[in-house]
Structure 1
Amino acid sequence: MPLNIRSEEVNRLAEKLASQARVSKTEAVRIALVNELERQERHIPLEERLRPLLDRLDAVPDTGLPADKAFFDELNGEP
């Protein structure tokens, strides 16, 4: 889906970034959007970012087996 930039200021900024990065205006806009999204994601609390992973871990049933040295030795084929 096309993006139509009607703001002269945004167009000028996109042209400036494109010129400095030596890329097309489309690529400059993509770079700017990716960078802004990454910047905002850094402000999301760690617990919230990890929640999907923690939920997956919580969904794994508990086997009741102890995860001690003997357990890991057996996994690695060690006596």
Structure 2
Amino acid sequence: MPFHVRDPEADAMLRSYAEEKRVGITDAIKLAVTRAREADESAKAEKLAKIDAILAEVDALPRTGLKADKAFFDDLSGD
């Protein structure tokens, strides 16, 4: 299946990348997409780790045993 890049800048970037990596255009596309997906997954994993750390910190806070003041929070939300 042919692949045509209509954007001249994107085409030049792809050809330059393929030349740098010493691979064909198809392999350059595969490589670039694979690396982009790996970077996305890595970023997602980092964010989840940060969220988990925050949740662990909140869970470690001592419980006061006090109940929330429903009337106060209802007033805040306009109910």
TM-score where L is the length of structure 2: 0.51
Matched, 1:38 2:70: no
Q: Which runs of 5 or more structure 1 residues have no equivalent in the other structure?
A: 49-79
Question: Matches of residues 1-79 of structure 1 in structure 2 within 5 Å?
Answer: 1-45=1-45
Q: Which runs of 5 or more structure 2 residues have no equivalent in the other structure?
A: 49-79
- Name the amino acid aligned to 1:23: V
Q: What RMSD in Å do the two structures reach over aligned CA positions?
A: 1.9
C-alpha distance in 2 between matches for 1:42 and 1:9 = 27
CA deviation vs aligned residue, 1:14-73 (integer Å, no higher than 9, x gap)? 110111111001111111110001000112247x6xxxxxxxxxxxxxxxxxxxxxxxxx
User: How many residues are paired up?
Assistant: 47
CA shift, 1:4, in A, is 2.5
Query: Is the radius of gyration larger for structure 1 or structure 2?
Result: 2
Structure richer in helix, relative to its length: 2
Question: Percent identity over the alignment?
Answer: 26
